[in-house]
Amino acid sequence: MKKHLNLANKLTAEEMIEVRDHLQKTADLLGKFSVSLSDEERISVRNVSEGREGYVREVLRVTQEFPDELPRSVDIAEFGELLAIFDDWRKLILTAEKIAEKTDDTNIALGIELMRYTDTCYPILQNRRNDNANLDRAMQRLDDYNKRFGGPSKPITDSPDSGESPLVGEE
């Protein structure tokens, strides 16, 4: 089975704190302008979607070419500034989505590796519990856990018929 992570490249505790601090500072900075919409506002109000973005840009272009045709209450400069801010926020969203995807993928890979170790260790411990009273008592906690949440799942292996431990022969 493919090993997804190289522990030699893991972030240190200090680096993890630094990343969280940077993300929190970014969230705080964005908070001075960002808003939180209700579900109703997200659905019921017309907004710029992919199909409408070009339409908005074209209306702004024509508006800027013919400002005298509009009532004075229309703030053309604000219209243009809003579109520029919209573009900047789209770039932020793309960056945030890339970060979210990488962190989510890494978290999934961590889960895969953790289950691989769990699936290797559990049956070995289960087989050896009869020879060790202390191990048997420790395994009873796992028995109780499995009763409450369901038994252990089938181990992850390279192939269902291989019979190999998922950790055997990996570096």
DSSP secondary structure string for all residues of 16-32:
HHHHHHHHHHHHHHHHT
| Amino acid letter, residue 141 | R
| pLDDT computed for residue 163 by the predictor | 46
Nearest residue to 140 via CA among 71, 148, 119, 95: 148
| pLDDT computed for residue 157 by the predictor | 55
pTM, 2 dp: 0.69
| Amino acid letter, residue 89 | W
| Beta-sheet strands, E only, within 73-123 | none
| pLDDT computed for residue 151 by the predictor | 67
Residues 6+ apart with CB under 8 A from 109: 4, 5
Both tokens of 9, joined, read 């490249």
| pLDDT computed for residue 50 by the predictor | 73
Both tokens of 62, joined, read 């024509």
pLDDT, one tens digit for every residue, the chain (171 residues): 688 898 999 999 999 999 999 999 999 999 999 999 998 888 888 888 777 999 999 999 999 999 999 999 999 999 999 999 999 999 999 999 999 999 999 999 999 999 999 999 999 999 999 999 999 999 999 888 888 887 666 665 544 444 444 454 444
